[in-house]
Amino acid sequence: MKHLKVTSALLSAVMCMSMVMTPVSVMADESAPEETQVEETEKQETQEEEPAETEEQESEAVEDKVSEDEDSAEAADAVLAKGKCGKKLKWTLDKKGTLKITGKGAMYNYSSDPKTGFVNTPWINYLKKIKKIVVSKGVTSIGTMAFFDCAYAKSVSLPKTLKSIGYAAFACTGITKVVIPKKVKTIGTYAFCECEDLVSVSLPKGLTKINDYAFAACFKLKGVSIPATVKTIGEGAFEACWSLTSISIPAGVKTIGESAFNDCNKLVTVKLPVSGVNSIGAKAFFGCKALTKISIPLTVTSIGASAFDGCGELSSVWIGPKQKANLPESAFKDCNKVTFDVHDYAMIGDQFSVGLIAYAVSNPAINGTGTLDVLSVNPDVEKAVIPAVVTYKNVKYKVTKITRYTIQYNNTLKLKTLVIGSNVASIEDDTFAGCPELVSVTGGAGLKTIGSRAFEKCPKLKVFSISSKSLKKIGAYAFSGDTALTTLQFKKTTKLTKAGVKNSLKESSIKTVKVKKKKVKKYKKIFKKKNCGKKVKVKK
């Protein structure tokens, strides 16, 4: 049995060890049969005729057999022990210490003896000899406590066919890194608890929950990337991960469970999403001594008792006024350096006006700079200058998009000159279509996309000069019906491709496209009539 290196108040570690002393509830349908039953089952299988296989199964079987035959002679002499570990799964342990699981389907689930504390896996007597775990293609699940306490196993290989990892499946093993296949949707409670040598883990996209204590007491775990699909970080999920220095919580996470990062004493940086998180559990970041600052999203409606208790280096907390008023008394207990930066900053969708331009928040600012969409321009404005940055309530926002709602009554507009700010990356479809007085469009140093029909039917438009290095797309019919516009000017080298200008000049009056001298040859190929929809000259 593996012994704890510490005897302090590490709840997760205590739980990892204590769970083997009591029976465990089986999580899947299959549990391990008694040893005698295994032998009888094997005998029966040799006597029974195998069912007919499909062509696909036969093909896979041939491939597997070829692979097996190549080293069968050598392997036969090397096998130390073997047996069954699932209805259609077998295991072998060779003399080099490789425990290999082969076959198709789910593994049996195993449990601990309440008297002895040992788990009834078929390889229980060989734990010290297991150096490597290889789960072969075809295996769909790792059973409950399957590799518990394989303390000498330093590596594990998991197949693409794997869909779930059971309760405490790898708890207390000696593995140093693990890549969890993309089909895995479920990682059981305590799955990797107290893997003391685990340094890195790769979690798959599609994972929706990190279960309770899944990685608790992984003392050497230095970093983990939480997929955007995760909605819940369970209780104690990363408790006592002493080497973890930073963590970024994606926007999809709604709940950070109780004690989720408790006692992560080297955790310096916690990046919470600007919105999405609804609750931070009790003791979620308790004892994170190195944490220096935290920004609480306004979407958080519940902060548990002692959530940040004992964060001695915490000096700055960005928080909303309602959140501050409703904090539990112990939430920031023993945070002697803390100061609260209270801001009633805007949330996604909030609207406000600065000057004669109205904006909508697309990304709230939390202890930094948010982003805005241009929502509308006053119809009496003759010159509209879209700023790069707007300040509202002492918070800075980058203006990154001009929406299709910007000009709501195009046929009555007085707009003649449009200057696009350097942070604007996108002009949406139809945005300035039908502006009767528009003459000039300039700027756009950060522009990436011009939408379809964005400047359609602007009869007085003569100047279109963009200074972007990042322009990738001009939408179809972008300048259709602009009878006065004969030249497009791109002052900087763009990233336009054939796909990026498909039908962009169709039904326009454009005759010339001006680009940098060294790009003339390239853009002649891009702006061919059959591609862009109009015969034009490309020159410097």
Q: Which among 520, 384, 501, 413 has a CA at the least distance from the CA of 450?
A: 501
Rounded-to-integer distance, Cα 209 and Cα 237, Å: 10
Residue 356: helix, strand or coil by DSSP? coil
**Structure-token match 């035959």, residue found:** 69
Give the pLDDT confidence of 44-93 residue by residue, as tens digits. 333 333 344 443 344 444 344 434 444 454 545 589 999 999 999 999 99
Name all domains of the chain by residue range, CATH numbers in brackets. Answer: 1-184 (no CATH), 351-539 (3.80.10.10)
Give the model's pLDDT for residue 368.
66
| Distance in angstroms (rounded) separating the CA atoms of residues 168 and 24 | 10
Asked whether 399 and 372 are in contact (CB, 8 A), the reply is yes
The amino acid sitting at 221 is L
DSSP-derived 3-state class of residue 519? helix
The runs of H, that is alpha helices, within 48-166 are: 55-70, 72-78
Under a CB-based contact definition with an 8 Å cutoff, are residues 88 and 72 in contact? no
Q: Are 213 and 193 in contact (CB under 8 A)?
A: yes
> What gap in Å lies between CA 104 and CA 78, rounded to an integer?
23
Ranges of beta strands (E only) in 14-131 are 79-86, 89-94, 98-103, 105-106
Q: Which residues of 183-194 are buried (b: 16+ CB within 10 A; e: fewer)?
A: ebeebbbbbbbb
Strand order through the sheet with 139-142? 105-106, 139-142, 164-165, 186-187
Q: What is the CA angle 63-96-155, rounded to 5? A: 75
**Nearest Cα to 509, choosing from 455, 471, 465?**
455
Phi, psi of 446 (to 5 degrees): -110, 10
432/435 Cα distance (integer angstroms) = 6
Closest-CA residue to 251 (of 282, 284, 228): 228
Residue recorded with tokens 């003392």: 219
- Residue 526: phi and psi, rounded to 5, are -70, -45
User: DSSP code of 65?
Assistant: H
Helix (H) / strand (E) element for 16: namely helix 11-18
pTM as predicted: 0.68
pLDDT tens for the chain, residues 1 to 540? 343 333 333 444 445 555 444 444 333 345 555 443 333 333 333 333 334 444 334 444 434 443 444 445 454 558 999 999 999 999 999 999 999 999 999 999 999 988 888 899 999 999 999 999 999 999 999 999 999 999 999 999 999 999 999 999 999 999 999 999 999 988 999 999 999 999 999 999 999 999 999 999 999 999 899 999 999 999 999 999 999 999 999 989 999 999 999 999 999 999 998 778 999 999 999 999 999 999 898 889 999 999 999 999 999 998 888 899 999 999 999 999 999 988 777 777 889 899 889 999 988 776 667 899 999 888 888 999 999 999 887 788 999 999 987 775 555 578 999 999 999 999 999 999 999 999 999 999 999 999 999 999 999 999 999 999 999 999 999 999 999 999 999 988 789 999 999 999 999 999 999 999 888 999 999 999 999 999 999 998
Residue 343 confidence (pLDDT): 77
